[in-house]
């Protein structure tokens, strides 16, 4: 008798995970096979016990992969495969699935909108690696932080980065490509270059004037006022790199408005 009283006083084991309540659509169903009951809707959660095959359970709710069921003094989650959806509830679940898709689409649009705002904020700001005036000779140096023009998400994992520089009024651009095209040479007759084609048809060529650089392609080119004006008028369409051994044309540009946005940072 004491054992019976103790059993009756035991609390009902309950769930700790949110789920969609079936409410008036809850139903009873026989389990197709012996099933483990979990505390939450993941097989990594605590096991509350098992329900025997053909046991009649009350199905109270569901989530993506589990039913929330009640059987005697156990409430918990069993895998969806254990219980077949009744014919009369199929339209309900189809509507619920459509709601989920619409909710996911709404969230994605909200994320896209936020990313767009962040991009606009980025376009307004300047980020510097160096922005100083030498205290001795009063020479001003401005180097923007290197930014990606091509972010490596294309099929060839192409990464192009760019840094704008202003050394006491002499402006230049450092452009890097994660490809070995031989060397970047500044020698007469074999100068390496970067040729930028804009969407409006304008073409701007930068010729390397720094030391010879080998390995991943990198050039430093002079940036004139006329070139800056052209670069501010139109997004980038493609970039052609010419090294001492190979040439490479890149049409995937993830940040086509880089020059339009950032030229101002060295003016």
CATH number at residue 76: 2.30.30.40
Contact 140, 133 (CB under 8 A): yes
Dihedral (CA of 4, 5, 6, 12) sign: positive
For residue 229, the model assigns a pLDDT of 95
The reply to whether 193 and 143 lie within a common domain is: yes
Comparing CA positions, the residue from 86, 83, 10 lying closest to residue 48 is 10
Same domain as 246, residue 143: yes
Q: What is the mean pLDDT of residues 69-95?
A: 82
Residue where a domain stops, chosen among 59, 85, 111? 85
239 — pLDDT class (breaks 50, 70, 90): very high
At residue 87, the pLDDT reads 80
Which residue is associated with the tokens 């007759």? 189
Question: What is the average per-residue pLDDT within 15-41?
Answer: 77
What CATH number did the domain enclosing 163 receive?
2.60.40
- Picking from 60, 85, 110, the residue at the C-terminal end of a domain is 85
pLDDT in tens, 184-232: 999 888 899 999 999 999 999 999 998 888 999 999 999 999 999 999 9
Residues 160 and 75 occupy one common structural domain? no
Domain match, 179 and 257 both: yes
In a domain, 205, yes or no: yes
User: Is the confidence at residue 96, as pLDDT, over 80?
Assistant: no
Mean of the per-residue pLDDT values of the chain = 84
Whether residues 79 and 184 fall in one domain? no
Of 33, 46, 36, the C-alpha closest to 82 is 33
**How far is residue 149's CA from residue 255's CA, in Å, rounded to a whole number?**
5
pLDDT of residue 18: 64
Cβ atoms 140, 152 nearer than 8 A: no
Mean pLDDT, rounded, for 75-87:
82
67, 85, 103 - which closes a domain: 85
Report DSSP letters for 78-142, one per residue.
EEGGGSPPPGGGHHHHHHHHHHHHHHHHHHHHHHHHHHHHHHHHHHH---EEEEEE-TTT--EEE
Ranges of H-type helices in 125-257: 225-231
The length of the chain, given as a count of residues:
267
Q: In this structure, is residue 165 part of a structural domain?
A: yes
183: in domain:
yes
**Is 188 a domain residue?**
yes
If you ran DSSP here, which 8-state letter would residue 211 be given? S
* The pTM of the whole model exceeds 0.75: no
Percent pLDDT > 70 in the chain is: 92
Count of domains observed in the chain: 2
Average pLDDT over residues 9-21: 51
- Range with the lowest mean pLDDT among 15-19, 27-31, 144-148, 206-210? 15-19
142, pLDDT greater than 80: yes
pLDDT at 9 over 60: no
Q: What is the pLDDT of residue 101?
A: 83
- Radius of gyration in angstroms for the set of CA atoms belonging to the chain, rounded to a whole number: 32
Structure tokens at 115: 């990313």
| Chain centre to alpha carbon of residue 261 | 22
Q: What is the pLDDT of residues 34-60, one digit of tens each?
A: 888 888 877 678 888 888 888 898 888
Domain of residue 235: give its range. 127-266
Indicate if the pLDDT at residue 8 is higher than 50. no
Using DSSP bridges, classify how beta strands 66-71 and 56-62 pair: parallel, antiparallel or unpaired. antiparallel
């Amino acid at each position: 008798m004491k054992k019976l009283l103790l059993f009756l006083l035991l609390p009902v084991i309950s769930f700790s995970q949110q789920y969609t309540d079936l409410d008036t659509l809850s139903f009873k169903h026989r389990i197709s096979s012996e099933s483990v009951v979990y505390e939450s809707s993941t097989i990594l959660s605590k096991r509350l016990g098992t329900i025997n095959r053909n046991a009649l359970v009350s199905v109270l709710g569901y989530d993506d992969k589990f039913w929330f069921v009640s059987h005697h003094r156990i409430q918990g989650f069993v895998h969806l495969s254990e219980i077949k959806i009744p014919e009369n509830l199929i339209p309900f679940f189809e509507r619920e699935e459509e709601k989920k898709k619409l909710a996911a689409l709404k969230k994605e649009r909200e994320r896209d909108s936020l990313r767009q705002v962040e991009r606009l904020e980025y376009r307004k700001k300047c980020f510097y690696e160096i922005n100083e005036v030498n205290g001795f000779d009063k020479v001003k140096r401005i180097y923007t932080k290197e930014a990606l023009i091509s972010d490596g998400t294309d099929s060839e994992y192409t990464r192009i980065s760019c840094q704008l520089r202003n050394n006491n009024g002499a402006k230049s651009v450092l452009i890097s490509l994660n490809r070995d095209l031989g060397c970047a040479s500044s020698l007469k007759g074999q100068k390496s270059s970067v040729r930028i084609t804009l969407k409006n048809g304008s073409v701007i060529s930068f010729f390397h004037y720094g030391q010879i650089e080998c390995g991943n392609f990198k050039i430093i080119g002079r940036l004139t006022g006329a070139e800056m004006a052209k670069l501010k008028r139109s997004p980038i369409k493609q970039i052609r790199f010419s090294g001492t051994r190979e040439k490479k044309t890149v049409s995937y540009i993830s940040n086509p408005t880089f020059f339009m946005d950032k030229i101002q940072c060295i003016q």
